[in-house]
A and B are shown apart, each in its own frame.
Chain A
């Protein structure tokens, strides 16, 4: 339920054309340039539209909301020499005292619904590489071309976005049949119609919706026959994270994806192959780099995980897959290779086990982490000095494996272990 104060602020804003949502939690270090880029983007491309920036804050104690609401448009228009025809509101609400991206998104969607926004854009407060153009690249397809969801495409270094390339993209693509490269996006745009529909969905009471609100937006769009496209934004820098964060990231992303399959079985089980989605301003997405990889650490994490978690894996994986994993865990670091087929089979068996809750679902996700480290090592070492194009060819091959093995998932989906 929205707070009275927030409702009062929404009354003052009134109907809008474009709503930009900023979910935050202690983002004082990065938020200001993000807000300025959004303001500049609005001034430059949508000076006539009624626009609001809404900050849904999860209890920051570093002054983040004040930085959002205090960012003066005057500085932006003086710098960009683009004059604002309209008042540009920036308002903030505290939805909770702890971070909860699902509640943040729901708050923003509720505001979009109340303000009858034609477009609702979500921007990460950590999008430090954001350019003003991102706003129009996200808004335009919804505002002018009637798309319901605009997913981003980024240009990233190979070492960034590995989870997306190795798991989230190929898995979403093979299950739901659409080639959406960033199904778990921190920047995206949705239509007002879709925002309203999303609010009325059950996802907010379901595990997968609560865990990974962003990916649930993509899946709901796909499963609900909404019009989806991708828009190339530009370079995306990965926020600095501790390696221990990976478990929570897995929960929010992979966990939500796995959980979504429970309720959508009727849909995805009938789909085979995949189709592209309309893509605007497509550009190469990978920046090849000589990534500084701590091979030994990744290798150790994988090998130790395979050994230590063997009892857990016996509940989750088939004997063949476990045996194959043990074989590659025994390989020396120079010979190490976690092939695409084995990785796809691993993930699909985890998917089925997650569905059947063979053990605590959270433990299943935690058990996937060391295996993902091993796959990451192979991904990063493959074509280490190769071109971006080669990397994309390999990515496509991996997706092919996921699509090829989908019938296998259907076989084991209902099987008793």
Chain B
């Protein structure tokens, strides 16, 4: 599949875990053969890129982010051949595939670590970060505050401490060691040669440690990324690198470099503010964070998402904002995890179809590449009692039948219990029933994805906010070449009137992009729109 430069800017990404999607061998765990079978669904949805969560051999103590072998497929999900087959079918259908690459750490069961800890003189000793004391790098925050007391863990075998930014069973690799850097490039090359279209690089800010710093975003880390990018560009042109760096916009900006580091990065601070703006019925949090978002090189792109496999992270908000988010979206403390909220989109929005549509409307129209988390397109629910983030990683709900159509195994043997409650359970929420209804959320999602992909203006266009006096309305202009789109979002639960200053576009008529209806021509007066609760409009401006 040919990779046009910048293909990722116009992509709509579907994030999925093999394990959760479809089980073909009835062992209760989704597999690559199942994912390949369900690519018709992904294609019908209209997305053109799949982002796969880790599928490598792993003890699965962190849902696969604790990798014990970078060059294989976890036996529960199939074989390397199964993966290649899936990749081939995806490409045949015009769907690109991005895979996860956990650079920062391995599982403590990885042979490298087993060797490294076996003795202080082992040749792989220096592949990890060891210390005789746990007093080094004291300025470094703990990320998993609910489970970890320190970034150091004592290893009773080699009688010293090893460094871990995440769980203690995930030792950090030592990127000061050239052998580690070279080996990780070899790992990436292994998958690139197979034909994957990009990597989502996990936890990139933490690659390097230096005393006296917070061990995040260090210049040496950027140098490593630049080196990887250079190799990718030279040997695999068109492959995309996506950064997972949960940082403030100003700290994120360097990860794009001069267009020579990452192609894309998640805009973590924007996501919670979209939820906040919705409940405050005020555009302020959204416009403020986007005003603070620096310009990025022309070849680069933000990645936007509403929900993903992790908790709705509240690391990139102020204390006051975090308190507000907890009170509004996670009043039950079971919903909270680390500094975030472990809930899916539909339950977060009280299963309010209008709010779900509005949030997806913003996701698809703000500058960036949107990512849809599997199941959110049908309004799947969560199970906050499953522990860690497993409540948002339950089996995909295909039908109202046995195990929701996910697997023919005994329900008790599924990797995770299916959602069964009367509101979000698979009998109420599933693909099959929504396919049969023109007005289902699934049908609506197909429609909006189609419109989003009908024009490059959303992926590559500029954005200019309008600031109508009505603060409940978020309005902006997207422009690319001769194409201009006006987006107007009513964040309020009540109908609103809004006057837009569109004099610069005088003479244009507005064409509503969903129904293709014509709205009055823009004149000298403020353009008055009345909007229903949580309604949004996308207008194409045409001078006819």
Residues of A within 8 A of B (CB): 8-9, 11-15, 47-48, 50, 82-87, 89
Query: Are the C-beta atoms of A8 and B499 separated by less than 8 Å?
Result: yes
Knowing A8-B499, A15-B494, A84-B284 are in contact, say whether A89-B471 is a contact too (CB < 8 A). yes
- From B87-95, B96-104, B317-325, B446-454, give the one contacting chain A: B317-325
A209 → chain B closest CB, angstroms: 33
Residues of B within 8 A of A14 (CB): 281, 470-472, 492, 494, 496
The answer, yes or no, to whether B469 is at the interface (CB within 8 Å) is: yes
A9 to B282, CA, bound (A): 16
| 15 more A-B residue pairs beyond the given contacts A8-B499, A85-B280, A87-B284, with a C-beta to C-beta distance below 8 A | A8-B469, A12-B468, A12-B469, A14-B471, A50-B282, A83-B318, A83-B320, A83-B321, A85-B276, A85-B282, A85-B284, A85-B285, A85-B321, A86-B471, A87-B283
Residues of B within 8 A of A (CB): 276, 280-285, 318, 320-321, 324, 468-472, 492, 494, 496-499
Query: Are the C-beta atoms of A85 and B320 separated by less than 8 Å?
Result: yes
The residue from A11, A12, A47 contacting B320, defined by CB atoms under 8 A apart = A47
Residues of A within 8 A of B282 (CB): 50, 85-87
A15 to B282, CA, bound (A): 12
Residues of B within 8 A of A8 (CB): 469, 499
14 CB < 8 A contacts A-B:
A8-B469, A8-B499, A12-B470, A12-B471, A12-B499, A14-B496, A50-B282, A82-B320, A83-B320, A83-B321, A85-B276, A85-B320, A85-B321, A87-B282
A414 to B317, CA, bound (A): 69
Query: Are the C-beta atoms of A9 and B496 separated by less than 8 Å?
Result: no
A357 to B469, CA, bound (A): 51
Nearest B residue to A15 via CB reads B494
A12 to B498, CA, bound (A): 7
Knowing A47-B320, A85-B321 are in contact, say whether A11-B284 is a contact too (CB < 8 A). no
Query: Are the C-beta atoms of A87 and B497 separated by less than 8 Å?
Result: no
Nearest A residue to B493 via CB reads A15
Nearest A residue to B327 via CB reads A48
Query: Are the C-beta atoms of A48 and B470 separated by less than 8 Å?
Result: no
A176 to B499, CA, bound (A): 49
A89 to B468, CA, bound (A): 12
Interface of A is mostly: loop
Residues of A within 8 A of B280 (CB): 48, 85-86
Residues of A within 8 A of B497 (CB): 11
A243 → chain B closest CB, angstroms: 45
Residues of A within 8 A of B471 (CB): 12-14, 86-87, 89
The residue from B324, B469, B472 contacting A85, defined by CB atoms under 8 A apart = B324
A90 → chain B closest CB, angstroms: 12
Residues of B within 8 A of A13 (CB): 470-471
Residues of A within 8 A of B498 (CB): 12
Query: Are the C-beta atoms of A11 and B470 separated by less than 8 Å?
Result: yes
Query: Are the C-beta atoms of A48 and B324 separated by less than 8 Å?
Result: yes
A12 to B496, CA, bound (A): 8
A155 to B321, CA, bound (A): 37
Nearest B residue to A11 via CB reads B497
Residues of B within 8 A of A48 (CB): 280, 324
What 3 pairs between A and B have smallest CB-CB spacing? A12-B469, A87-B471, A12-B470
Residues of B within 8 A of A50 (CB): 281-282
Nearest A residue to B287 via CB reads A87
A11 to B530, CA, bound (A): 11
Residues of A within 8 A of B492 (CB): 14
Residues of B within 8 A of A11 (CB): 470, 496-497
A12 to B529, CA, bound (A): 12
Query: Are the C-beta atoms of B284 and A86 separated by less than 8 Å?
Result: yes
A9 → chain B closest CB, angstroms: 7
A263 to B499, CA, bound (A): 46
A77 → chain B closest CB, angstroms: 11
A249 to B124, CA, bound (A): 90
A82 to B319, CA, bound (A): 11
B280 → chain A closest CB, angstroms: 5
Residues of B within 8 A of A15 (CB): 494
Residues of A within 8 A of B496 (CB): 11, 14
B416 → chain A closest CB, angstroms: 36
Nearest B residue to A91 via CB reads B469
A82 to B93, CA, bound (A): 52
Nearest A residue to B283 via CB reads A87
Residues of A within 8 A of B499 (CB): 8, 12
B432 → chain A closest CB, angstroms: 41
Nearest B residue to A14 via CB reads B472
A56 to B230, CA, bound (A): 64
A14 to B285, CA, bound (A): 18
A7 → chain B closest CB, angstroms: 10
A197 to B78, CA, bound (A): 72
A83 to B292, CA, bound (A): 15
B318 → chain A closest CB, angstroms: 5
A110 → chain B closest CB, angstroms: 18
A85 to B275, CA, bound (A): 12
Nearest A residue to B320 via CB reads A83
